[in-house]
Amino acid sequence: MATISERKEQHLTLAVALGDGQDGGPGWPDVHLVHHALPSGTPDGVDVSTRLLGRRLPIPLVIAGMTGGHPAAAELNARLARAAERTGVAMGVGSQRAALRDPSLAGTYAVARSNAPSTLLIGNVGAAQLLDQRTERALSAADIRRAVDMIGADALALHLNFIEESVQPEGQTNAEGLTAAIGALCQDLDVPVMVKETGGGVSGPVAATLASCGAAALDVGGRGGTSFRAIEAQRAQEHAHATKRGIGRALAGWGIPTPVSVAWCAGVLPVVATGGIRSGVEAAKAIALGATAVSVGRPLLECAMRGEDAVVEWIDTFEAALRAALFLSGCRTLADLRTAPRVVLGDTRHWLTQLGLTGGPGGGG
């Protein structure tokens, strides 16, 4: 089996190669903001700032935690970090487990803080690693503290990736006592904990459980963006692991679409919407459904492969499109979006209706 470092490199390669759509679309085309033909002011006058994890962000955007743990990741994280510092957006790093097991890899993550001294920087460890697994001991409280200190993190993302783990040839799927372990982490850590799904979405009841554990925010990580299920199914095929490949195929399409998860969890915890968001207009839709901010992964990774300026250009375009969406919806702030009229159609409407939801704050659906 591959080492953690080798696996991380494979993840980056396959994420770019496979693209979106491996588990079906996220549903953003089903969500429509209603055009306001008599707007006021200008798009530049729209306030798109938000507060997340105790910090003000001028743009409601987080660069998703994607990489670290292998030599090529250092330069990618440096480029993303410099772009975050220039634009004021937040940034996450990929799972830091590799560096906790092999300290020589710590620099591939620490480069983020050295290139983004004032950025809201979010560390990252897996929830499965809070527990003893079949071939690996649980991370200790000291290990978690090292992850935070490694990058000078302002917050820690605890990622839930049990779909991926179920398909991964090296997967770790023991979840016995997980809720208690999350509660203990939230209580003991001196930075806020954001619990993050990675493609399966989060339901309202799970959000309520995480809130009772002390989570400060929730990244819903819904179905429809980069599919780690598909990535691991491809790896299983390459490793001739027929059973895991079969699980991956059987789970195609599994999960809660991102817009549904956002609407279901809004009001329970501050929500970051991740999963298939590819423009500022889709971000506006997520915020209308109740999100506090959005997170974007693969498109920014592809930009980082071209250079820092490409990342900044993407973020600038994202902001301009977000401003235009608010302006054309008759809104002056992100909060206005949550009470603006909207229409939800298609499969997303069916999800919301059968779950007894109304399409987020402000009605519609």
Give residue limits of the domains in the chain.
4-354
Quote the pLDDT of residue 1. Answer: 52
Quote the pLDDT of residue 346. Answer: 96
For 75, 87, 102, 312, the CA distances from 306, given in Å and listed in that order, are 11, 18, 28, 11
Quote the pLDDT of residue 365. Answer: 44
Bridge-partner residues for 273, per DSSP? 294
The set of residues, in sequence order, having a beta carbon less than 8 Å from that of 78 and lying 6+ positions away, is: 111, 112, 114, 115
| Closest of 109, 320, 300 to residue 328, by C-alpha | 320
Quote the pLDDT of residue 363. Answer: 47
Quote the pLDDT of residue 303. Answer: 97
Quote the pLDDT of residue 27. Answer: 93
CA 295, CA 283: separation in Å to the nearest integer?
Answer: 9
The set of residues, in sequence order, having a beta carbon less than 8 Å from that of 3 and lying 6+ positions away, is: none
Quote the pLDDT of residue 244. Answer: 80
Bridge-partner residues for 193, per DSSP? 156
- Residues 28/222, Cβ–Cβ less than 8 Å: no
- Residues 158/183, Cβ–Cβ less than 8 Å: no
Quote the pLDDT of residue 364. Answer: 46
Q: Are strands 50-52 and 55-57 parallel, antiparallel or unpaired?
A: antiparallel
For domain 4-354, say whether CATH 3.10.20.600 is its number.
no
CA 290, CA 87: separation in Å to the nearest integer?
Answer: 24
CA 110, CA 149: separation in Å to the nearest integer?
Answer: 9
- In the predicted model, residues of the chain with pLDDT beneath 50 are 11, 14, 362-365
Quote the pLDDT of residue 36. Answer: 98
| Closest of 92, 72, 95 to residue 80, by C-alpha | 92
